[in-house]
Structure 1
Amino acid sequence: MLVWERPEPPERPAPAPLSRERIVRAAIRLADANGLDAVSLRKVAAALDVGPMRLYGYIATKEELLDLMLDAVHAEIRPVGGNWREVLRSLAETTRRTAHQHEWLADLLGGRPQLGPNTLAGGEAVLAAMDGVDLDTVVPAVAAVNAYVVGAVRREITEQRAERSSGMDKRQWQTTYGPYLERTFATGRFPALATVVRDGPHLDADETFLAGLEFLLDGIEARISN
Protein backbone atom coordinates (compact mmCIF):
# COMPACT_ATOMS: atom_id res chain seq x y z
CA MET A 1 0.00 0.00 0.00
CA LEU A 2 1.38 3.43 -0.95
CA VAL A 3 2.27 5.83 1.83
CA TRP A 4 -0.57 8.16 0.81
CA GLU A 5 -3.12 5.44 1.68
CA ARG A 6 -1.37 3.71 4.57
CA PRO A 7 -2.81 4.72 7.96
CA GLU A 8 -0.49 6.13 10.60
CA PRO A 9 0.13 4.24 13.85
CA PRO A 10 -1.96 5.25 16.87
CA GLU A 11 -0.69 8.34 18.66
CA ARG A 12 1.84 7.85 21.43
CA PRO A 13 2.00 11.02 23.54
CA ALA A 14 5.18 9.98 25.36
CA PRO A 15 8.08 10.32 25.26
CA ALA A 16 7.61 12.43 22.10
CA PRO A 17 4.48 12.54 19.94
CA LEU A 18 5.01 11.74 16.29
CA SER A 19 3.14 12.02 13.03
CA ARG A 20 4.08 11.91 9.38
CA GLU A 21 3.63 15.67 9.24
CA ARG A 22 6.11 16.24 12.09
CA ILE A 23 8.61 13.86 10.49
CA VAL A 24 8.30 15.52 7.08
CA ARG A 25 8.62 19.03 8.50
CA ALA A 26 11.76 18.01 10.37
CA ALA A 27 13.21 16.52 7.18
CA ILE A 28 12.41 19.70 5.23
CA ARG A 29 14.18 21.82 7.85
CA LEU A 30 17.27 19.64 7.53
CA ALA A 31 17.18 19.79 3.71
CA ASP A 32 16.63 23.56 3.69
CA ALA A 33 19.68 24.01 5.90
CA ASN A 34 22.11 21.52 4.38
CA GLY A 35 20.62 19.87 1.27
CA LEU A 36 19.31 16.37 0.67
CA ASP A 37 22.54 14.78 1.89
CA ALA A 38 21.52 15.92 5.36
CA VAL A 39 18.31 13.89 5.20
CA SER A 40 18.08 10.30 6.40
CA LEU A 41 15.67 8.54 8.71
CA ARG A 42 18.40 8.40 11.34
CA LYS A 43 19.14 12.14 11.11
CA VAL A 44 15.45 13.05 11.13
CA ALA A 45 14.92 10.86 14.20
CA ALA A 46 17.79 12.61 15.95
CA ALA A 47 16.30 16.01 15.10
CA LEU A 48 13.02 14.88 16.67
CA ASP A 49 14.83 13.36 19.67
CA VAL A 50 13.39 9.88 19.10
CA GLY A 51 14.87 6.52 18.18
CA PRO A 52 15.11 5.72 14.44
CA MET A 53 12.91 2.65 14.82
CA ARG A 54 9.96 4.82 15.82
CA LEU A 55 9.98 6.43 12.39
CA TYR A 56 9.51 3.12 10.57
CA GLY A 57 5.95 2.88 11.80
CA TYR A 58 5.20 6.02 9.80
CA ILE A 59 7.64 5.88 6.87
CA ALA A 60 9.20 2.69 5.55
CA THR A 61 12.04 4.06 3.39
CA LYS A 62 13.94 7.21 2.56
CA GLU A 63 12.24 7.20 -0.86
CA GLU A 64 8.87 7.49 0.87
CA LEU A 65 10.23 10.34 2.96
CA LEU A 66 11.42 12.18 -0.16
CA ASP A 67 8.02 11.66 -1.80
CA LEU A 68 6.31 13.15 1.26
CA MET A 69 8.74 16.08 1.39
CA LEU A 70 8.18 16.82 -2.28
CA ASP A 71 4.43 16.75 -1.90
CA ALA A 72 4.56 18.93 1.21
CA VAL A 73 6.33 21.76 -0.62
CA HIS A 74 3.91 21.37 -3.52
CA ALA A 75 1.37 22.90 -1.16
CA GLU A 76 3.26 26.15 -1.85
CA ILE A 77 2.75 25.74 -5.61
CA ARG A 78 -0.81 26.92 -6.15
CA PRO A 79 -1.39 27.93 -9.78
CA VAL A 80 -4.17 30.51 -10.06
CA GLY A 81 -5.57 32.78 -12.75
CA GLY A 82 -8.58 33.67 -14.81
CA ASN A 83 -7.55 31.77 -17.94
CA TRP A 84 -5.18 29.03 -19.06
CA ARG A 85 -2.31 31.44 -19.83
CA GLU A 86 -2.45 33.04 -16.40
CA VAL A 87 -2.61 29.64 -14.73
CA LEU A 88 0.35 28.24 -16.66
CA ARG A 89 2.34 31.40 -15.90
CA SER A 90 1.40 31.08 -12.23
CA LEU A 91 2.44 27.41 -12.25
CA ALA A 92 5.85 28.33 -13.63
CA GLU A 93 6.43 31.29 -11.33
CA THR A 94 5.29 29.59 -8.13
CA THR A 95 7.32 26.46 -8.90
CA ARG A 96 10.42 28.59 -9.45
CA ARG A 97 9.83 30.62 -6.29
CA THR A 98 9.31 27.48 -4.22
CA ALA A 99 12.49 25.91 -5.61
CA HIS A 100 14.50 28.94 -4.56
CA GLN A 101 12.98 28.78 -1.08
CA HIS A 102 13.74 25.04 -0.90
CA GLU A 103 16.87 24.67 -3.01
CA TRP A 104 16.87 20.87 -2.72
CA LEU A 105 13.61 20.79 -4.68
CA ALA A 106 15.63 21.34 -7.87
CA ASP A 107 17.21 17.91 -7.34
CA LEU A 108 13.81 16.19 -7.26
CA LEU A 109 11.84 18.06 -9.91
CA GLY A 110 11.29 16.11 -13.09
CA GLY A 111 11.69 12.70 -11.50
CA ARG A 112 9.12 9.95 -11.46
CA PRO A 113 5.44 11.02 -11.43
CA GLN A 114 4.31 12.34 -8.07
CA LEU A 115 0.99 11.12 -6.72
CA GLY A 116 0.62 13.03 -3.44
CA PRO A 117 -2.53 15.06 -2.73
CA ASN A 118 -0.91 18.48 -3.07
CA THR A 119 0.76 17.56 -6.35
CA LEU A 120 -2.50 16.17 -7.72
CA ALA A 121 -4.39 19.30 -6.60
CA GLY A 122 -1.97 21.51 -8.53
CA GLY A 123 -2.30 19.35 -11.63
CA GLU A 124 -6.07 19.47 -11.35
CA ALA A 125 -6.03 23.28 -11.19
CA VAL A 126 -3.90 23.51 -14.33
CA LEU A 127 -5.97 21.05 -16.34
CA ALA A 128 -9.25 22.62 -15.21
CA ALA A 129 -8.01 25.98 -16.49
CA MET A 130 -7.42 24.40 -19.91
CA ASP A 131 -10.90 22.95 -20.14
CA GLY A 132 -12.13 23.33 -23.69
CA VAL A 133 -8.69 22.98 -25.25
CA ASP A 134 -8.21 19.70 -27.07
CA LEU A 135 -6.16 17.13 -25.19
CA ASP A 136 -3.70 16.75 -28.07
CA THR A 137 -2.66 20.33 -27.25
CA VAL A 138 -3.13 20.30 -23.47
CA VAL A 139 -0.82 17.39 -22.71
CA PRO A 140 2.29 18.57 -24.61
CA ALA A 141 1.63 22.22 -23.63
CA VAL A 142 1.66 21.46 -19.90
CA ALA A 143 4.64 19.13 -20.37
CA ALA A 144 6.51 21.89 -22.22
CA VAL A 145 5.93 24.41 -19.43
CA ASN A 146 7.01 21.91 -16.79
CA ALA A 147 10.13 21.02 -18.79
CA TYR A 148 11.01 24.69 -19.21
CA VAL A 149 10.63 25.38 -15.50
CA VAL A 150 12.64 22.32 -14.47
CA GLY A 151 15.47 23.23 -16.83
CA ALA A 152 15.52 26.90 -15.87
CA VAL A 153 15.34 26.24 -12.14
CA ARG A 154 18.07 23.60 -12.22
CA ARG A 155 20.34 25.96 -14.18
CA GLU A 156 19.74 28.81 -11.73
CA ILE A 157 20.29 26.64 -8.66
CA THR A 158 23.42 25.10 -10.21
CA GLU A 159 24.81 28.57 -10.91
CA GLN A 160 24.09 29.67 -7.35
CA ARG A 161 25.84 26.61 -5.95
CA ALA A 162 28.83 27.18 -8.23
CA GLU A 163 29.01 30.81 -7.14
CA ARG A 164 29.03 29.81 -3.49
CA SER A 165 31.60 27.09 -4.14
CA SER A 166 33.94 29.37 -6.08
CA GLY A 167 33.49 32.34 -3.78
CA MET A 168 33.05 34.60 -6.81
CA ASP A 169 29.92 36.59 -7.54
CA LYS A 170 28.94 37.58 -11.09
CA ARG A 171 30.97 40.79 -11.07
CA GLN A 172 34.08 39.01 -9.78
CA TRP A 173 33.65 36.30 -12.44
CA GLN A 174 33.43 38.95 -15.16
CA THR A 175 36.55 40.67 -13.84
CA THR A 176 38.46 37.37 -13.83
CA TYR A 177 37.37 35.97 -17.19
CA GLY A 178 36.48 39.15 -19.11
CA PRO A 179 40.01 39.82 -20.40
CA TYR A 180 40.28 36.25 -21.69
CA LEU A 181 37.02 36.63 -23.63
CA GLU A 182 38.14 39.97 -25.07
CA ARG A 183 41.39 38.41 -26.30
CA THR A 184 39.50 35.45 -27.75
CA PHE A 185 36.93 37.62 -29.52
CA ALA A 186 39.72 39.81 -30.92
CA THR A 187 40.87 36.85 -33.03
CA GLY A 188 37.70 37.18 -35.09
CA ARG A 189 36.89 33.48 -34.76
CA PHE A 190 33.62 33.99 -32.88
CA PRO A 191 31.89 37.06 -34.36
CA ALA A 192 28.33 36.02 -33.46
CA LEU A 193 29.26 35.32 -29.84
CA ALA A 194 31.20 38.57 -29.61
CA THR A 195 28.19 40.55 -30.85
CA VAL A 196 25.87 38.95 -28.31
CA VAL A 197 28.27 39.47 -25.40
CA ARG A 198 29.04 43.08 -26.31
CA ASP A 199 25.69 44.30 -27.67
CA GLY A 200 23.01 41.87 -26.53
CA PRO A 201 20.59 42.50 -23.67
CA HIS A 202 22.06 41.65 -20.28
CA LEU A 203 19.05 40.30 -18.45
CA ASP A 204 19.07 39.19 -14.85
CA ALA A 205 17.72 35.76 -13.82
CA ASP A 206 14.16 37.00 -13.28
CA GLU A 207 14.03 38.77 -16.64
CA THR A 208 15.54 35.80 -18.46
CA PHE A 209 13.05 33.38 -16.93
CA LEU A 210 10.01 35.54 -17.67
CA ALA A 211 11.11 36.30 -21.24
CA GLY A 212 11.57 32.62 -22.04
CA LEU A 213 8.26 31.77 -20.41
CA GLU A 214 6.41 34.35 -22.50
CA PHE A 215 7.99 32.97 -25.69
CA LEU A 216 6.71 29.53 -24.72
CA LEU A 217 3.22 30.76 -23.82
CA ASP A 218 3.03 32.69 -27.10
CA GLY A 219 3.74 29.46 -28.96
CA ILE A 220 1.05 27.58 -27.05
CA GLU A 221 -1.44 30.38 -27.72
CA ALA A 222 -0.65 30.30 -31.42
CA ARG A 223 -1.26 26.55 -31.46
CA ILE A 224 -4.57 26.89 -29.62
CA SER A 225 -5.71 29.68 -31.95
CA ASN A 226 -5.16 27.60 -35.09
Structure 2
Amino acid sequence: MGEQREAARRVPLSRDRVLRAAVALADASGIDAVSMRKLAQELGVVPMALYKHVANKEELLAGMVDVVVGEIDPPHPGTEWRTAVRRRILSARRALLRHPWASRVIESRTTPTPVVLEYMDSMTGMFRADGFSVDLTHHAMHALGSRMFGFTQELFDDSAGVDPAVREAMLREMAGTYPHLAEIASGAAHDERSVVGPGCDDQFEFEFALDLLLDGLEGLRRQRWSSKAHREQATTIG
Protein backbone atom coordinates (compact mmCIF):
# COMPACT_ATOMS: atom_id res chain seq x y z
CA MET A 1 0.00 0.00 0.00
CA GLY A 2 2.82 2.39 0.90
CA GLU A 3 4.56 1.67 -2.41
CA GLN A 4 1.32 2.39 -4.33
CA ARG A 5 0.87 5.69 -2.52
CA GLU A 6 4.48 6.65 -3.19
CA ALA A 7 4.08 5.76 -6.87
CA ALA A 8 0.93 7.88 -7.06
CA ARG A 9 2.78 10.82 -5.56
CA ARG A 10 5.40 10.57 -8.32
CA VAL A 11 2.71 11.07 -11.00
CA PRO A 12 3.11 14.59 -12.43
CA LEU A 13 0.66 17.08 -10.98
CA SER A 14 -1.97 18.41 -13.36
CA ARG A 15 -5.16 20.43 -13.04
CA ASP A 16 -7.27 17.33 -13.70
CA ARG A 17 -5.44 15.33 -11.04
CA VAL A 18 -5.83 18.16 -8.51
CA LEU A 19 -9.56 18.48 -9.16
CA ARG A 20 -10.23 14.76 -9.03
CA ALA A 21 -8.27 14.44 -5.80
CA ALA A 22 -10.36 17.28 -4.35
CA VAL A 23 -13.57 15.53 -5.41
CA ALA A 24 -12.37 12.28 -3.81
CA LEU A 25 -11.51 14.16 -0.61
CA ALA A 26 -14.96 15.78 -0.50
CA ASP A 27 -16.62 12.42 -1.17
CA ALA A 28 -14.73 10.82 1.70
CA SER A 29 -14.77 13.61 4.28
CA GLY A 30 -17.27 16.24 3.19
CA ILE A 31 -16.79 19.56 1.46
CA ASP A 32 -15.77 21.32 4.67
CA ALA A 33 -12.70 19.08 4.83
CA VAL A 34 -11.41 20.38 1.51
CA SER A 35 -8.65 22.94 1.89
CA MET A 36 -5.55 23.66 -0.14
CA ARG A 37 -3.36 22.40 2.70
CA LYS A 38 -5.31 19.17 3.17
CA LEU A 39 -5.44 18.56 -0.57
CA ALA A 40 -1.68 19.09 -0.83
CA GLN A 41 -1.20 16.47 1.89
CA GLU A 42 -3.39 14.02 -0.03
CA LEU A 43 -1.34 14.58 -3.17
CA GLY A 44 2.00 14.50 -1.38
CA VAL A 45 3.03 17.98 -2.49
CA VAL A 46 3.56 21.36 -0.86
CA PRO A 47 0.50 23.66 -0.92
CA MET A 48 2.23 26.14 -3.25
CA ALA A 49 2.40 23.46 -5.94
CA LEU A 50 -1.39 23.50 -6.21
CA TYR A 51 -1.50 27.17 -7.15
CA LYS A 52 0.12 26.40 -10.50
CA HIS A 53 -3.12 24.62 -11.40
CA VAL A 54 -5.87 26.40 -9.42
CA ALA A 55 -5.52 30.05 -8.47
CA ASN A 56 -7.45 29.83 -5.20
CA LYS A 57 -10.10 27.93 -3.25
CA GLU A 58 -12.93 29.41 -5.33
CA GLU A 59 -11.37 28.19 -8.55
CA LEU A 60 -10.86 24.79 -6.95
CA LEU A 61 -14.56 24.55 -6.02
CA ALA A 62 -15.63 25.65 -9.49
CA GLY A 63 -13.39 23.00 -11.01
CA MET A 64 -14.84 20.35 -8.71
CA VAL A 65 -18.32 21.25 -9.97
CA ASP A 66 -17.01 20.83 -13.52
CA VAL A 67 -15.82 17.31 -12.68
CA VAL A 68 -19.27 16.37 -11.38
CA VAL A 69 -21.13 17.96 -14.30
CA GLY A 70 -18.74 16.13 -16.61
CA GLU A 71 -20.12 12.83 -15.26
CA ILE A 72 -23.61 13.60 -16.60
CA ASP A 73 -24.48 11.49 -19.63
CA PRO A 74 -24.43 13.33 -22.98
CA PRO A 75 -27.68 13.84 -24.93
CA HIS A 76 -29.07 10.99 -27.02
CA PRO A 77 -29.38 12.29 -30.61
CA GLY A 78 -32.74 11.66 -32.27
CA THR A 79 -34.57 11.06 -28.98
CA GLU A 80 -37.94 12.76 -28.39
CA TRP A 81 -37.45 15.83 -26.17
CA ARG A 82 -39.29 14.59 -23.09
CA THR A 83 -37.37 11.31 -22.95
CA ALA A 84 -34.08 13.06 -23.71
CA VAL A 85 -34.52 15.71 -21.01
CA ARG A 86 -35.73 13.18 -18.46
CA ARG A 87 -32.75 10.86 -19.08
CA ARG A 88 -30.31 13.74 -18.82
CA ILE A 89 -31.75 15.06 -15.57
CA LEU A 90 -31.86 11.60 -13.97
CA SER A 91 -28.23 11.11 -15.02
CA ALA A 92 -27.46 14.41 -13.28
CA ARG A 93 -29.24 13.14 -10.19
CA ARG A 94 -27.12 9.97 -10.17
CA ALA A 95 -24.00 12.14 -10.35
CA LEU A 96 -25.22 14.27 -7.44
CA LEU A 97 -26.01 11.18 -5.37
CA ARG A 98 -22.43 10.00 -5.91
CA HIS A 99 -21.20 13.37 -4.66
CA PRO A 100 -23.67 14.56 -1.96
CA TRP A 101 -21.65 17.72 -1.27
CA ALA A 102 -21.96 18.97 -4.85
CA SER A 103 -25.45 20.50 -4.63
CA ARG A 104 -24.27 22.83 -1.87
CA VAL A 105 -21.30 23.97 -3.97
CA ILE A 106 -23.39 24.38 -7.13
CA GLU A 107 -25.84 26.59 -5.25
CA SER A 108 -22.99 28.73 -3.95
CA ARG A 109 -21.59 29.52 -7.41
CA THR A 110 -22.45 32.99 -8.74
CA THR A 111 -20.63 32.69 -12.07
CA PRO A 112 -21.09 29.50 -14.12
CA THR A 113 -18.01 27.97 -15.71
CA PRO A 114 -17.83 27.11 -19.43
CA VAL A 115 -18.51 23.45 -18.55
CA VAL A 116 -21.71 24.38 -16.71
CA LEU A 117 -22.74 26.79 -19.47
CA GLU A 118 -22.17 24.07 -22.08
CA TYR A 119 -24.42 21.70 -20.12
CA MET A 120 -27.16 24.34 -19.80
CA ASP A 121 -26.82 25.17 -23.50
CA SER A 122 -27.26 21.53 -24.47
CA MET A 123 -30.34 21.28 -22.24
CA THR A 124 -31.80 24.36 -23.91
CA GLY A 125 -31.00 22.85 -27.29
CA MET A 126 -33.05 19.74 -26.54
CA PHE A 127 -36.16 21.89 -26.05
CA ARG A 128 -35.52 23.99 -29.13
CA ALA A 129 -34.86 20.96 -31.34
CA ASP A 130 -38.37 19.64 -30.69
CA GLY A 131 -40.34 22.76 -31.42
CA PHE A 132 -40.24 24.73 -28.18
CA SER A 133 -40.28 28.48 -28.79
CA VAL A 134 -37.53 30.63 -27.35
CA ASP A 135 -40.13 32.07 -24.97
CA LEU A 136 -41.37 28.70 -23.68
CA THR A 137 -37.81 27.33 -23.46
CA HIS A 138 -36.86 30.31 -21.29
CA HIS A 139 -39.69 29.58 -18.88
CA ALA A 140 -39.01 25.83 -18.97
CA MET A 141 -35.44 26.39 -17.82
CA HIS A 142 -36.69 28.60 -14.98
CA ALA A 143 -39.24 25.95 -13.98
CA LEU A 144 -36.61 23.22 -13.90
CA GLY A 145 -34.17 25.35 -11.93
CA SER A 146 -31.68 23.28 -9.93
CA ARG A 147 -33.60 20.14 -10.92
CA MET A 148 -31.67 20.13 -14.19
CA PHE A 149 -28.56 19.48 -12.09
CA GLY A 150 -30.25 16.62 -10.23
CA PHE A 151 -31.32 18.20 -6.96
CA THR A 152 -33.97 20.39 -5.41
CA GLN A 153 -34.44 22.11 -2.09
CA GLU A 154 -36.49 19.66 -0.05
CA LEU A 155 -39.63 20.81 1.72
CA PHE A 156 -39.32 18.75 4.88
CA ASP A 157 -36.43 18.66 7.34
CA ASP A 158 -34.48 15.47 7.80
CA SER A 159 -35.82 13.57 10.82
CA ALA A 160 -33.85 10.41 10.14
CA GLY A 161 -32.26 9.12 13.30
CA VAL A 162 -35.04 10.43 15.54
CA ASP A 163 -36.33 7.79 17.94
CA PRO A 164 -39.65 6.41 16.57
CA ALA A 165 -41.40 6.99 19.89
CA VAL A 166 -40.20 10.61 19.96
CA ARG A 167 -41.32 11.09 16.38
CA GLU A 168 -44.79 9.74 17.16
CA ALA A 169 -45.06 12.12 20.11
CA MET A 170 -44.02 15.01 17.87
CA LEU A 171 -46.69 14.07 15.33
CA ARG A 172 -49.39 13.89 18.00
CA GLU A 173 -48.42 17.32 19.27
CA MET A 174 -48.32 18.70 15.74
CA ALA A 175 -51.78 17.30 14.96
CA GLY A 176 -53.42 19.69 17.40
CA THR A 177 -52.08 22.79 15.67
CA TYR A 178 -51.20 21.66 12.13
CA PRO A 179 -53.61 18.78 11.41
CA HIS A 180 -53.09 18.64 7.66
CA LEU A 181 -49.28 18.58 7.87
CA ALA A 182 -49.47 15.90 10.56
CA GLU A 183 -51.79 13.85 8.38
CA ILE A 184 -49.36 13.97 5.46
CA ALA A 185 -46.29 13.33 7.64
CA SER A 186 -47.81 10.29 9.31
CA GLY A 187 -49.56 8.92 6.23
CA ALA A 188 -46.60 8.78 3.83
CA ALA A 189 -44.66 5.57 3.67
CA HIS A 190 -41.65 4.39 1.68
CA ASP A 191 -38.01 5.06 2.38
CA GLU A 192 -36.69 5.20 5.95
CA ARG A 193 -33.29 6.38 4.65
CA SER A 194 -34.74 9.37 2.80
CA VAL A 195 -32.88 12.65 3.21
CA VAL A 196 -36.24 14.38 3.59
CA GLY A 197 -37.16 12.20 6.54
CA PRO A 198 -38.78 8.81 7.16
CA GLY A 199 -41.80 8.20 4.99
CA CYS A 200 -40.54 9.94 1.84
CA ASP A 201 -38.89 8.15 -1.06
CA ASP A 202 -36.44 10.73 -2.43
CA GLN A 203 -36.10 9.24 -5.89
CA PHE A 204 -39.84 8.78 -6.32
CA GLU A 205 -40.57 12.35 -5.18
CA PHE A 206 -37.90 13.74 -7.51
CA GLU A 207 -39.23 11.84 -10.52
CA PHE A 208 -42.85 12.61 -9.61
CA ALA A 209 -42.22 16.36 -9.67
CA LEU A 210 -40.03 16.10 -12.77
CA ASP A 211 -42.74 14.23 -14.68
CA LEU A 212 -45.35 16.80 -13.65
CA LEU A 213 -43.15 19.55 -15.05
CA LEU A 214 -42.37 17.72 -18.28
CA ASP A 215 -46.03 16.79 -18.87
CA GLY A 216 -47.06 20.39 -18.27
CA LEU A 217 -44.39 21.70 -20.64
CA GLU A 218 -45.51 19.28 -23.34
CA GLY A 219 -49.06 20.57 -22.98
CA LEU A 220 -47.87 24.15 -23.37
CA ARG A 221 -45.76 23.22 -26.41
CA ARG A 222 -48.78 21.71 -28.13
CA GLN A 223 -50.85 24.81 -27.33
CA ARG A 224 -48.12 27.05 -28.78
CA TRP A 225 -48.20 28.90 -25.46
CA SER A 226 -46.55 32.30 -25.15
CA SER A 227 -45.93 34.43 -22.10
CA LYS A 228 -47.29 37.51 -23.94
CA ALA A 229 -50.65 35.88 -24.63
CA HIS A 230 -50.76 34.52 -21.09
CA ARG A 231 -50.17 37.97 -19.61
CA GLU A 232 -52.78 39.55 -21.89
CA GLN A 233 -55.32 36.92 -20.88
CA ALA A 234 -54.52 37.40 -17.19
CA THR A 235 -54.97 41.17 -17.57
CA THR A 236 -58.32 40.68 -19.29
CA ILE A 237 -59.57 38.32 -16.60
CA GLY A 238 -58.28 40.58 -13.84
CA contact (8 A) 1:84 1:126 kept: no
Q: Shift in Å at residue 199 of structure 1?
A: 5.0
The answer to whether the aligner puts 1:182 opposite 2:179 as a matched pair is no
Q: Provide the secondary structure at the position in 2 that maps to 1:103.
A: coil
Q: Which residue of 2 aligns with 1:221?
A: 218
Q: Shift in Å at residue 68 of structure 1?
A: 0.9
Q: 1:127 aligns with which of 117, 124, 128?
A: 124
- Which stretches in structure 1 are left out of the alignment for 5+ residues? 1-13
Taking a change above 3 Å as real, the CA distance of residues 42 and 184 of structure 1, as seen in their structure-2 partners, is closer
Q: Which residue of 2 aligns with 1:71?
A: 66
Taking a change above 3 Å as real, the CA distance of residues 215 and 50 of structure 1, as seen in their structure-2 partners, is same
Q: Which residue of 1 aligns with 2:184?
A: 196
The answer to whether the aligner puts 1:37 opposite 2:32 as a matched pair is yes
Identity among equivalent pairs (%): 31
Q: Distance in 1 between matches of 2:48 and 2:186?
A: 60
CA contact (8 A) 1:133 1:224 kept: yes
The answer to whether the aligner puts 1:25 opposite 2:11 as a matched pair is no
CA contact (8 A) 1:78 1:122 kept: no
The answer to whether the aligner puts 1:109 opposite 2:106 as a matched pair is yes
How many residue pairs get matched?
200
CA contact (8 A) 1:16 1:50 kept: no
Q: Shift in Å at residue 58 of structure 1?
A: 1.5
Instruction: Output the TM-score relative to the length of structure 2.
Output: 0.72
CA contact (8 A) 1:19 1:58 kept: yes
- Which stretches in structure 2 are left out of the alignment for 5+ residues? 1-8, 190-198, 224-238
The one-character-per-residue Cα deviations of 1:53-105 (angstroms, maximum 9, x if unpaired) are 11111111111111111101111112534122122212321222111100110
Q: Which residue of 2 aligns with 1:91?
A: 88
Q: Provide the secondary structure at the position in 1 that maps to 2:154.
A: helix
The one-character-per-residue Cα deviations of 1:183-226 (angstroms, maximum 9, x if unpaired) are 543x4x54433543455676511111111111111221122111
Q: Provide the secondary structure at the position in 1 that maps to 2:75.
A: coil
Taking a change above 3 Å as real, the CA distance of residues 148 and 29 of structure 1, as seen in their structure-2 partners, is closer
CA contact (8 A) 2:26 2:34 kept: yes
CA contact (8 A) 2:92 2:148 kept: yes
Q: Shift in Å at residue 127 of structure 1?
A: 2.3
Q: Provide the secondary structure at the position in 2 that maps to 1:50.
A: coil
CA contact (8 A) 1:96 1:153 kept: no
Q: Provide the secondary structure at the position in 1 that maps to 2:45.
A: coil
